[in-house]
Amino acid sequence: QVQLVESGGGLVQAGGSLRLSCAASVTIFSMTAMAWYRQAPGKQRELVARITSGGSTGYADSVTGRFIISRDSAENTVYLQMNSLKPEDTAVYYCYAVRYGNDVWGPGTQVTVSS
């Protein structure tokens, strides 16, 4: 069973930055795609950023220009660099991957942005 573990969440003031990491238990070359989702209290889980096995990236309109998704294949890790954070970015952030048709979710990491 593939496992994903997020880290790097925490409390930051508006305008600050955080870098989230998602460590996979297998090579990320085996992943069709990986992504970051987030879920704020009382809201649906939403896609924030994604990266394909070929390295193509995509972002939600709300984070375009502020967030960057990247990967380090040697470390089997995907990152989410979050800049110019806003209070509305506050949520639990989840790493997601699809591998051989199976969905895999990490347990999530809390990001809180104070005003």
Per residue in 83-94, pLDDT (tens digit) is: 999 999 999 999
Which sign does the torsion angle of CA 93, 107, 47, 59 carry? positive
What's residue 113's pLDDT? 98
What's residue 86's pLDDT? 98
What's residue 110's pLDDT? 98
CA angle 109, 111, 115 (to 5 degrees): 170
What's residue 30's pLDDT? 79
Each residue of 8-28: pLDDT tens digit?
A: 999 999 999 999 999 999 887
Each residue of 32-90: pLDDT tens digit?
A: 899 999 999 999 999 999 999 889 999 999 999 999 999 998 889 999 999 999 999 99
What's residue 63's pLDDT? 98
Strand boundaries in the chain, DSSP class E: 4-7, 10-13, 18-24, 33-39, 46-52, 57-59, 67-72, 77-82, 91-99, 102-105, 109-114
Q: What is the mean pLDDT of residues 94-111?
A: 94
